[in-house]
Structure 1
Amino acid sequence: MGELVHAEAGSVGRVVYGRVRPNEDLVTAIETICDEAGVLNGFIRGSLGSLTDACVDCGDGSETVVYGPAVEVVGLAGEVRTAAGGKPVAVLHGMIAGPDGRIGGGRFMRGKNLVCVTFELAIEEWVVSETPENAAEPRP
């Protein structure tokens, strides 16, 4: 049976539209876009683009690598949260499809997902409310 671990009050802020250029890593580029826009927390709401090669963590300790060129990102979902050092950290999950028909899915590995031509995305800012319930530590 499920158990609520943490609930967070907040509201939607700005929507930031970004473009990642060729040979930039998808994960670190999204973090840079958020940092430059002053987005402390956010969600990926839309994206379109391809990667030169793609590498995802399957969640069981293995990685799936799909070789391109032009590995399509079929779906992308993600969250950006500000780490203790004040810098945004992106965790991205998605589905990928290679030109040979090979597919995969999982968490995009930092430094292993270079953009092929361009990658466009929309990031929805999440503004955490300063409420007493947000000050409480989540239960383990």
Structure 2
Amino acid sequence: MTEPVTVEVGTMGRVAYARIAPNEDLVQGVEKLCLAHGFRNAFVRGALGSLVDACLGTRDGKFIQIKGPAVEIVSLAGEVRSDVDGSITASLSGVVADTNGDVYGGPFVAGSNTVCMTFEVTIEEWLPSEKSIAA
């Protein structure tokens, strides 16, 4: 059985190439960048950097802690969405590798992924229109 799907209509806006500083949380850093540039909705398109330690969510609602130092981010993608109250929330998922080369994937837990040195990220603004299409 399939669930109803809504397709959002909109256009792409501005692009920000930005840096998140050391000792700042990855997820919260993306949210701060969006607020600073006035992006209410956005896609995280790419990134390069490492974390002190990583914390990823699991399917059963728990989390896994990957110890560093310097847990490398292999890939990262996600989106930022505005809430009714005007606040924004980033949902980021990715793949990380620890110092032994072991690889882990999942959603990054906000407040638990501190940037190690610097973190480069590309954020593309999404401008939804008033129309949505039920598919």
* TM-score normalised over the length of structure 2: 0.93
Runs (5+) with no aligned partner, structure 1: none
**1:111 matched residue in structure 2:** 111
Q: Compute the RMSD of aligned alpha carbons.
A: 1.7
Deviation at 1:127, TM superposition (A): 0.3
2:53 aligned partner = 53
Structure 2 match to 1:27: 27
How many Å apart are 1:20 and its aligned residue? 0.4
Superposition pairs for residues 9-88 of structure 1, below 5 Å? 9-88=9-88
CA distance in 2, matches of 1:58, 1:104: 10
How many angstroms apart in 1 are the aligned matches of 2:117 and 2:64? 22
Question: Structure 1 vs Structure 2: percent identity of aligned residues?
Answer: 49
* AA aligned opposite 2:55: C
Tell me how far 1:61 sits from its aligned partner.
2.1
Aligned residues: 135
Which residue identity is paired with 1:7? Answer: V
Which of the two has greater strand per residue?
Answer: 2
Q: Tell me the amino acid that sits aligned with residue 70 of structure 1.
A: A
1:46 Cα deviation from its structure 2 partner: 1.1
CA distance in structure 2 between the partners assigned to 1:102 and 1:63 by the alignment: 17
Partner deviation per Cα, 1:59-92 (whole Å, 9 max, x = no partner): 2223121111110011101010001221221000
